[in-house]
Structure 1
Amino acid sequence: MFQESPIYDRLVAERGDVPAHTRREAERVSRELEYVMRPLQAHGAFTPTERPASPGAGWQRTALPPGSLPH
């Protein structure tokens, strides 16, 4: 990706390869999340198309214009 880039090479030498480290961490987190979510998906407890029940289900907040107070 960064061929013949002395500035990038120097930064990597000084600070480490941050993009590569970030990519590895993102892949690790993705694998862990997949592992954690697998039991829920296997038992049908939750599918991405369903919304979990939440307190206050059935009502929805609406935004108020700045400076407005509810009556």
Structure 2
Amino acid sequence: MSSADTSDAPIYAGLVEEQGDVPAEVRRIAEETLLEVESALDFSAVRASAGIR
């Protein structure tokens, strides 16, 4: 977190220090899950029949 963020939102900065950056962690886990799902599920046949590349 930059110093500008800290001065603009001191309450949020304090919560991030205490609890961690929960939104960033959720975003990271969601991206990892999406990549895992994409590698586990093969929709190429469905895309081909629908004309989607």
| Structure 1, unaligned runs of 5 or more | 50-71
Report Cα offsets for 1:17-64 as digits up to 9, x if no partner: 0000000000000000000113xx34x3xx278xxxxxxxxxxxxxxx
- Give the alignment's Cα RMSD to 1 decimal: 2.2
User: What TM-score do the two structures reach when normalised by structure 2?
Assistant: 0.67
Higher helix share: 2
User: What TM-score do the two structures reach when normalised by structure 1?
Assistant: 0.52
Structure index of larger Rg: 1
- Number of residue pairs aligned between Structure 1 and Structure 2: 43
Match of 1:31 among 29, 32, 35: 35
User: Paired residue for 1:19?
Assistant: 23
| Structure 2, unaligned runs of 5 or more | none
The structure showing larger relative contact order (alpha-carbon pairs under 8 Å, at least 6 residues apart) is: 2
d(CA) in 2 for partners of 1:23, 1:33: 15
